[in-house]
Structure 1
Amino acid sequence: MGSHRAAGLFWATCLICVVAQCQSRFIIEKGGLKIKFPMSARDQHPGGFDVALANFGAPKYGGELLGKLVYVEKDHGHANVCSPDCQYACQAFSAAQPPFHLNGDLNPSKPSEVTNFIMMVDRGPVRDDMSACKFAEKVWNAQEAGAQGVIVVNYEDRLTTMEAPDDQDEASYKYLQNITIPAAFITKSDGQALKDLLKVGSDGTPEDAYVVMDWNDILPRAEKVSWEFWTNSNDQCGPVCDVQRDFIREFVPVAKELEKNWTTFTPHYIVWVCPPAYRDSQECVTQCIHKGRYCTPDPDGDLLAGFSGADIVQENLRQLCVFKLGNDSAMPWVWWDYVTKFADECKMSENHYNEECAERVFTELNGNQWSSLDKLRQCIGDINADAENAIMEAEMKSQKGDASTGEVYILPTIRINDGQYRGKLAYSEVLRAICASFKRDEEPAVCLNVSDDDCREGSVGDATCKANTDGMTKCVDTFGGYKCACGNGFIGHTDASGKEVCLNINECISTQAADLDPKCTCDRCACQDTIGGYQCIENIKDECADNEGGCWTGEFTVNGKKKLVSACQDNLAEYKDAASRGKPLDSVDLHKCHCPPCFTEFQAADGKKECVPKCDLDYCDEPTGVCHEAPGSTSSGTAGWAVVLIVFGCLSAVAVAGYAAYRLRIRSAMHQEIRAIMAQYMPLENQEGMENGEADGKNHSSQLV
């Protein structure tokens, strides 16, 4: 059994080497690093430095990280002792002498919003008396010491991508699952320029330096994002397989949501090939399909036992066909459902990793409704045929890439808009990278799930928006940061110049907010409109109840009873109206001095204004202020004569109209008599002719003779 396993591992290595013999075009994805402080150093390096993104960790795609630079080394203010030296970060900083931890104490004279530390560590060590450690271990130790970002300095002047530990190195691979900070790689000379910033001053402490790690515009942007996921159906490849399975299961909901309108997704599977001279060998037969053209290394390294590489390649092809059939039916998300269900139900450990289980999963996903088993089998074809398979050939072409995309040879790999994603395979990190690839400010709402909370209480966004005086007081979190929008109590409006402005909403008039507030609706309460809101004014003073507001008062007998009459008038209605319109209330009096109804103003000899009755108050109609005169008064007699004159005028008009009608009737009667007399001297027909205008003048003359 041991010899079979060794042979399997040997042939797996051969398969990999065949791919490696191609002209590999590995793309180093670069980010930016800029000096924020001191100003002199920023001016000396205005363009900053290029850094290579690590293929693990959590890069902040579409964002930045501002932090205080730290280098744990004795000549730079930190005399802690580690083994190997602390600058290599190969030992937990908690085990250093004395223990080292970044506690967040920052110089208050520097940018107050900075609460992050970016630790710089060296690659290596490359010494006989010290053993080097993996990149992931360095980053993990820095994270545990309190760093929010890590920069690894190379020992030579070139950039390379810091890869994740080998999938067989489970001791180091465990760090990948827990690393939540970004890491980048910098050249030796650029790293030295950063170290020079941290010179020890006369007090024995290093100078302060602040840098910005920048991940803006690393990936190409597009209105609709295209992304690819390179994976494998093998479930016995250790931690790598576990990470892929967990990622797919967690990403299913958001993948389906994005696929509706926002993204175009394509799954891929890495393909190995068998050397042509060995395609008939047992090794190629067990690890390949189509006569050695498409291969995958044996999952357990034993060519004669367990599942073979050929089993994996066949399932990879089946999953590609599921995607193709779903895509042809406008259901590209079916692939996510299939691979998740297959991973749960068709495990190698339970001996269910086979065609029967796969086809059952396909059927249970209603595959016979949007496609059929026959179409699935036809897509897969004869895996033993000595011929090319179109789908697998397309996979190999995509795998080789081109000058801009680079070759894919690491599992898992993600491409976004033809750019390679760098970072760990996890829900938040991948979604953030996808969101950073949309056109700016056009990201879907789901991207807010992974955005930084730039509007949290006390943040720069929160403080900036609240300080606005134009109504843009509401901080709205966006994927790339924040924006200020019209706050509560304002409504957006586009003015004539096309500028977005905020108009104040009058809650006292335009909304029901004040009507529902009991503090605004009592008898002596008012709603006062304010910029961006309203306030209730309670217990408005009735100044007329307090010594009649200082206005004139007098005592009179009305209907036999004594009555106190006052010139003080409560001005509450005008006060409420002014408040509801947001007008200044200092100029609105709560009372006015006006003579009451049926009174007129009179200025006394001493200059004081008094009120005197216009009539007998017994006949005063207070609501209208009209005086009704008492019976028998002079004014009443005059009114009687006025009535008589009106009646006489009406009778005269009737008489004149009757006389005119009589004259018209007499005239009409005389006209009828004249016509009757003339009819005695004229024939009736001629009379009719004359009436009709038919007789000429000559005939008329003879008849009159």
Structure 2
Amino acid sequence: MGGGGGARPFLAVVMAVAVLAAMVAPARGRFVVEKSSVRVLAPEHIRGHHDAAIGNFGVPDYGGTLTGVVLYPAKKATGCAEFPAKFKSKSGRPVVLLLDRGECYFALKSWNAQQAGAAAVLIADTVDEQLLTMDTPEASPDTRYLDKLNIPSALVNRAFGESLKRMAEKADAEGEVVVKLDWRESMPHPDERVEYELWTNSNDECGPRCDEQAAFVKSFRGHAQILERGGYARFTPHYITWYCPEAFRLTRQCQSQCINHGRYCAPDPEEDFGEGYEGKQVVVENLRQLCVHRVANESGRPWAWWDFAMDYKLRCSMKEKKYSKACAEEVVASLGLPLEKVLACMGDPDADADNAVLSKEQEDQIGRGSRGDVTILPTLVINDVQYRGWLAVAAPSL
């Protein structure tokens, strides 16, 4: 993190996090596990369809299928250590490596499988429970492989996993276990136009998550604008906000992190209430960027949001101490957007009243239908389904 006041006592950090969690509350909802289908094609006596939970890393083949042979390692079956040799099927079909859950990150298992020649990974649960989404670990020197992970992965339930293991171990006598992984129903296409949302943040001091968002906006901007100009897609940006419970609204924490008397909040960028920028400045800038999109949309140039977001990150960075109202308004003016309309859309951040734009954002955060809550940044939602996998230009199926 940038700009903080150096090392702080560990207890103070723990207390700050605890206070923030207790006082700044997200809207309530639910988390939906996005699923793909695994169809067993052979041997014939175990044919059938099974659900699998798509991992939140790697690159799922949305809209496509993959037919391959299930192999189960005789050793290192958790996949937590590098495999000594490449896996190959006797028939030459792609390898779908089956691994056991436990002992290390899900993503590390997939990385070791990819390095050993696997085209996809199935991870067998070790307990009887509902399927869950295998999440991405926090970026660190030990997880540098994450941006190189490009094969799909999925979690299967314990019973199905055990069945696949038994059949894979008998493959020499009874034939290869052939499965078809199917992502065609994972991303619905109700009409000829793709509707997608990017949940992001104007804060650029949140570490690797912020860097990932900035890199995606930079690399996808041109593609997004072509899709929107051609009528092939409709894009909507979103920003997560929280609220401060009534009883805490006069505290320093809420006043530092919230606008409109505690109704809309964002965490302190430096996690230090006495240093650098405040959470409420992030909320105001998020609101501005929402209004830039609304005004651009009204003027028939919805794609101008991508230019604003990119220019703002370049010209108004927190890291360079330029994150400000003045800088933002210069960017608005440079794009030829009417500043007075943006300001009218934003309203008064100091008013003891609801803000229609941010109230809609809080409502949209909550899961509905087949889509779960938005809880992680960045989050891409395509046709009302949360995209799972690494956020990169080559990945989303737009």
Match of 2:317 in 1: 347
C-alpha contact 2:23 2:254 (8 A) present in aligned 1: no
Letter in 2 for 1:373: L
- Alignment partners' CA distance in 1, 2:168 and 2:82: 23
Shift of 1:241: 0.8
- Alignment partners' CA distance in 1, 2:23 and 2:298: 33
Match of 1:211 in 2: 179
Match of 1:35 in 2: 40
- Alignment partners' CA distance in 2, 1:386 and 1:30: 43
Query: For residues 162-207 of structure 1, what are the alpha-carbon distances to aligned partners after superposition, in whole Å with 9 as ceiling and x for unaligned?
Result: 11113xx424543321100000010000111111111247x7x895
- Alignment partners' CA distance in 2, 1:72 and 1:171: 28
Matched, 1:249 2:218: yes
Matched, 1:298 2:264: no
| RMSD (Å) for aligned C-alpha atoms | 1.9
Among candidates 125, 147, 150, match of residue 177 of structure 1 = 147
Letter in 2 for 1:165: P
Among candidates 18, 23, 29, match of residue 10 of structure 1 = 18
C-alpha contact 1:6 1:302 (8 A) present in aligned 2: no
- Alignment partners' CA distance in 2, 1:358 and 1:151: 46
C-alpha contact 1:399 1:408 (8 A) present in aligned 2: yes
The correspondence of residues 574-593 of structure 1 with structure 2, limited to 5 A, is none
Shift of 1:15: 4.8
**SS of residue in 1 equivalent to 2:235:** strand
C-alpha contact 2:23 2:248 (8 A) present in aligned 1: no
Among candidates 80, 88, 112, match of residue 90 of structure 1 = 80
C-alpha contact 1:143 1:149 (8 A) present in aligned 2: yes
Letter in 1 for 2:181: M
The correspondence of residues 300-315 of structure 1 with structure 2, limited to 5 A, is 300-315=270-285
User: Measured at CA, do residues 8 and 379 of structure 1 come closer, stay the same or move farther in structure 2, by a change above 3 Å?
Assistant: farther
**SS of residue in 2 equivalent to 1:427:** coil
Among candidates 341, 357, 376, match of residue 410 of structure 1 = 376
Structure label with greater radius of gyration: 1
Match of 1:147 in 2: 118
Shift of 1:403: 3.7
- Alignment partners' CA distance in 2, 1:152 and 1:429: 21
Query: For residues 409-435 of structure 1, what are the alpha-carbon distances to aligned partners after superposition, in whole Å with 9 as ceiling and x for unaligned?
Result: 1111122221221111111211x2x3x
Among candidates 117, 129, 132, match of residue 160 of structure 1 = 132
The correspondence of residues 392-403 of structure 1 with structure 2, limited to 5 A, is 392-403=358-369
C-alpha contact 2:119 2:152 (8 A) present in aligned 1: yes
Letter in 2 for 1:236: E
Match of 1:511 in 2: none
Match of 2:197 in 1: 228
Letter in 2 for 1:58: V
**SS of residue in 1 equivalent to 2:349:** coil
C-alpha contact 1:136 1:172 (8 A) present in aligned 2: no
Match of 1:332 in 2: 302
Among candidates 231, 240, 249, match of residue 209 of structure 2 = 240
- Alignment partners' CA distance in 1, 2:290 and 2:393: 22
- Alignment partners' CA distance in 1, 2:327 and 2:333: 10
- Alignment partners' CA distance in 2, 1:172 and 1:232: 26
Match of 1:121 in 2: 99
Q: TM-score, normalised by structure 1?
A: 0.53
- Alignment partners' CA distance in 2, 1:133 and 1:14: 30
Query: For residues 337-375 of structure 1, what are the alpha-carbon distances to aligned partners after superposition, in whole Å with 9 as ceiling and x for unaligned?
Result: 0000111111111100111111111111222xxxx2222
Query: For residues 4-34 of structure 1, what are the alpha-carbon distances to aligned partners after superposition, in whole Å with 9 as ceiling and x for unaligned?
Result: 6555433332356x227x2x22111110111
Greater RCO, 1 or 2 (C-alpha within 8 Å, sep 6+): 2
Letter in 2 for 1:416: I
- Alignment partners' CA distance in 2, 1:19 and 1:155: 32
Match of 2:327 in 1: 357
C-alpha contact 1:61 1:218 (8 A) present in aligned 2: yes
Letter in 1 for 2:35: K
C-alpha contact 1:136 1:164 (8 A) present in aligned 2: yes
Among candidates 136, 140, 151, match of residue 107 of structure 2 = 136
C-alpha contact 1:297 1:309 (8 A) present in aligned 2: yes
Among candidates 236, 261, 284, match of residue 266 of structure 1 = 236
Match of 1:597 in 2: none
Letter in 1 for 2:226: E
Q: Which moved more, 1:139-148 or 1:323-332?
A: 139-148
Match of 1:55 in 2: 56
- Alignment partners' CA distance in 1, 2:31 and 2:250: 32
- Alignment partners' CA distance in 2, 1:374 and 1:25: 38
- Alignment partners' CA distance in 1, 2:213 and 2:382: 17
Match of 1:482 in 2: none
Match of 1:282 in 2: 252
Query: For residues 120-166 of structure 1, what are the alpha-carbon distances to aligned partners after superposition, in whole Å with 9 as ceiling and x for unaligned?
Result: 11111xxxxxxx21111111111111111011111123200111113
- Alignment partners' CA distance in 1, 2:312 and 2:225: 18
C-alpha contact 1:15 1:297 (8 A) present in aligned 2: no
Among candidates 101, 106, 117, match of residue 86 of structure 2 = 101
Match of 1:599 in 2: none
The correspondence of residues 509-524 of structure 1 with structure 2, limited to 5 A, is none
Match of 1:199 in 2: 169
Among candidates 380, 385, 394, match of residue 351 of structure 2 = 385
